[in-house]
Structure 1
Amino acid sequence: MPSPLPVRDGVGATRLHVPLTGPWPTAAAYMVERFFHLDPERLLERFDRGDIVRADGSPLPRDAPLGSVEFVWYYREPAVETRIPFEIEILHQDDHLVVVDKPHFLPTTPGGKFLQNSALVRLRNLLDNPDLAPIHRLDRATAGLLMFATRPATRGAYQLLFENRQVQKVYEAVSARPASGTLPSFPVVYRNNIVKARGQVRVQVDDTKEPNSETLVELIDSDERVVHTLLRPHSGKMHQLRVHLAALGIGILNDRFYPDLLDDLPDDFERPLQLLARELRFVDPLTGTERVFRTRRTLQHAPRTGAPVSDA
């Protein structure tokens, strides 16, 4: 469903579904209860200013009865953002694709307290392209390769590559060496069933179900402190690599979610998650040629003695 509002400052309007029936006399009353954490009067003032609109772009008045509209659009008004002090590096740009090296801590798309501090919004503003859209996503904590489509007409062809698992993805991770000193027998293929429940920050593992995630884990190097691994995911479940390495006893350094959920604290920019999206390889659906992109970033705690492995 197209938005009636244009992209503004790199950020698209938010669409909200409004129930057609319920205990609320008006659509505005539903939104006041839905967004209980906001000041009700300030929210109602946005109706009076015409900031909340219908599908045809017309303003929705605060007294519009429930059932008179199913969807509304509006621009989010977050608190003042603190800039994430790391920059995106553009590695490739053509008529259809933009490939970047995303830093740690920067989310792929706007969400929560991050709007301008997202890779998508920064790139839209930098390239003056409101049609720019992510083809896939990386966790906010993960650094490395991220691809964006530059135009809607060809976006779907690239997104299908990921949906059909036709993109070979390679990651690197650095983990603390287990206290026992015993490492898994590499290479190892790890599989399990991962479920993401609404409202939960971590995924859950369900050992009663058939595996829906799979990762090949190879050893790059290790020393007395850390283990440096190469990861080839066959699937793309949320937090898959973090869950799999934690299950193998080599949870990723600085991971605040796995194996244990730690207290939610402000970002510590000196302690980024040691996970890096290293390589993307695929056959271009428009030209039929093989394309390979590699990150220029490195993980700060990776051993420096080992030779890099070949991904050929």
Structure 2
Amino acid sequence: MAMTSPLPVRDGVGATRLHVPLEGPWDTVSQYMAERFSHLDPERLLRRFDRGDIVAFNGSSLARDTPLGAEEFVWYYREPPEERDIPFEVEILHQDRDLVVVDKPHFLPTTPGGKYLQNSALVRLRNLLGNPDLTPIHRLDRATAGLLMFSTRPETRGAYQLLFERRQVEKVYEAVSALPADWDAAEPALAGIRFPIVYRNHIEKLRSHVCVRVDPDREPNSETLIELIDFDDRVVHTLLRPHSGKMHQLRVHLSALGAGILNDGFYPDLLPEAPDDFAKPLQLLARELRFVDPLSGAPREFVTHRTLQERP
């Protein structure tokens, strides 16, 4: 449901929209929100109503006694969490009237969420460029570094988003994995398959699960071409060309071939959550983007300035 927020972007962060049930066991909107956000101090939440911080579609403030059913959607600004600073900068590689292309560092999320607000590529760039309309055209995992594209204007955003929806953007990644135990330097291969490797499987994202699920009995919905760049007695360095864009696809495919990416806390095994170790970034890099510009018809190509620290 496309709805325009009644609240402007503030400090680079847009307001959050919440769907409120029109009926239920709550007398007021504030009672519903207190139960919905039970991890928050209810008195602190009520004070936000008293200050006029919770608003309706028309921008009018809701009171703590606004009855349930009066509004189906409400908007509010998230209260900034205590964020650990991510001490790496976003590098702007290209900027024009319609596009901004950046080199995102490891550990920085693309958009605000969870415990990250100011420490996200989107918020940093909105504040740096003074453009509240800036919006990512695609996304990278927080753990992945490399090329990331943003739209600067709503008027042309859809044209660039369609490129990704129609798979008209050539994306190239590289990764570094631990050398498999059965590695044969004379005939390099992964899981007995010689390079170049085309790997396919069926990936699905399950609600409330941080890892994706692979279903071996279903028709493949993801595909990656994997090429060998180099190797030594410690690691193997690969070039990855995804044909599809499923969540965690590259990490899942290399893991399935016995070459899980170095410093991956999700695949092949989900490790206990721990503070970021900035000395051990995931060895996955979004290296190249190529496409035909939908506005000018000119070919566009962008290449990262970053490298993977564990490469041979």
Pairwise TM-score range, normalised by the shorter structure: over 0.9
1:93-242 residue pairs with structure 2 within 5 A?
A: 93-182=95-184, 183-184=189-190, 185-242=194-251
Q: What residue is the counterpart of 1:18 in the other structure?
A: 20
Cα displacement (A) at 1:149: 0.3
Runs of 4+ more than 3 Å apart: none
- 2-structure distance, mates of 1:211, 1:189: 12
Q: TM-score, normalised by structure 1?
A: 0.96
Cα displacement (A) at 1:158: 0.3
Q: What residue is the counterpart of 1:299 in the other structure?
A: 308
CA contact (8 A) 2:173 2:286 kept: yes
Aligned length: 303
- 1-structure distance, mates of 2:6, 2:81: 24
Output one character per residue of 1:30-68: Cα deviation in whole Å (capped at 9) or x when no partner.
111111110111011101110000000000111111111
Q: What residue is the counterpart of 1:265 in the other structure?
A: 274
2:101 aligned counterpart, secondary structure: strand
Cα displacement (A) at 1:78: 2.9
Cα displacement (A) at 1:179: 2.0
Structure 2 unaligned segments of length 5 or more: list them: none
1:219 aligned counterpart, secondary structure: strand
- 2-structure distance, mates of 1:187, 1:73: 50
Cα displacement (A) at 1:22: 1.4
2:149 aligned counterpart, secondary structure: strand
Structure 2 letter corresponding to 1:257: F
Cα displacement (A) at 1:209: 1.2
Structure 2 letter corresponding to 1:272: P
1:129 aligned counterpart, secondary structure: coil
Output one character per residue of 1:62-106: Cα deviation in whole Å (capped at 9) or x when no partner.
111111100000000032212100000000000000000000000
Structure 1 unaligned segments of length 5 or more: list them: 304-312
- 1-structure distance, mates of 2:25, 2:298: 57
- 2-structure distance, mates of 1:24, 1:210: 45
CA contact (8 A) 2:56 2:71 kept: yes
Structure 2 letter corresponding to 1:250: A
Q: TM-score, normalised by structure 2?
A: 0.96
Structure 2 letter corresponding to 1:296: H
1:298 aligned counterpart, secondary structure: coil
Structure 2 letter corresponding to 1:128: G
- 1-structure distance, mates of 2:24, 2:166: 40
Structure 2 letter corresponding to 1:46: R
Cα displacement (A) at 1:180: 2.6
Given candidates 249, 255, 259, the residue that maps to 2:258 is 249
Aligned alpha-carbon RMSD (Å): 0.7
Given candidates 27, 35, 38, the residue that maps to 2:37 is 35
CA contact (8 A) 2:136 2:151 kept: yes
